[in-house]
Amino acid sequence: MITKQISVSEFKAHCTQEIRAVENGEAILELTRHGKKVAVVRSAAADESSPALESWIGSGKGTVTFEASYVPDAPAWEADDWED
């Protein structure tokens, strides 16, 4: 899926064609006015199928605790923990 940037006036001229492309999953449209992004048009089905990455970022903050003896630079295991 590509992100396609078009002006509002171009979108108005080809609205039906652009909406079909979005429906078919071919593109996400960014509409611009005087070079500035003013709107995003994307498939509603994409929003329902999976959560956006942004909703996951930071979701685990504060859920991990470390013991006082934790040393971040220490090896993850001791060499003799592995069988020969």
> What are the tokens at 72?
């971040």
**Residue 46 pLDDT > 70, yes or no?**
no
pLDDT in tens, 32-45: 999 999 999 988 87
Structure confidence at residue 1 as a pLDDT band (50, 70, 90): low
Query: Domain 1-42 adopts which CATH fold?
Result: YefM-like fold (3.40.1620)
pLDDT in tens, 25-35: 888 899 999 99
In the 8-state DSSP scheme, what is residue 63? -
Average pLDDT, the chain: 85
pTM for the predicted model, two decimal places: 0.52
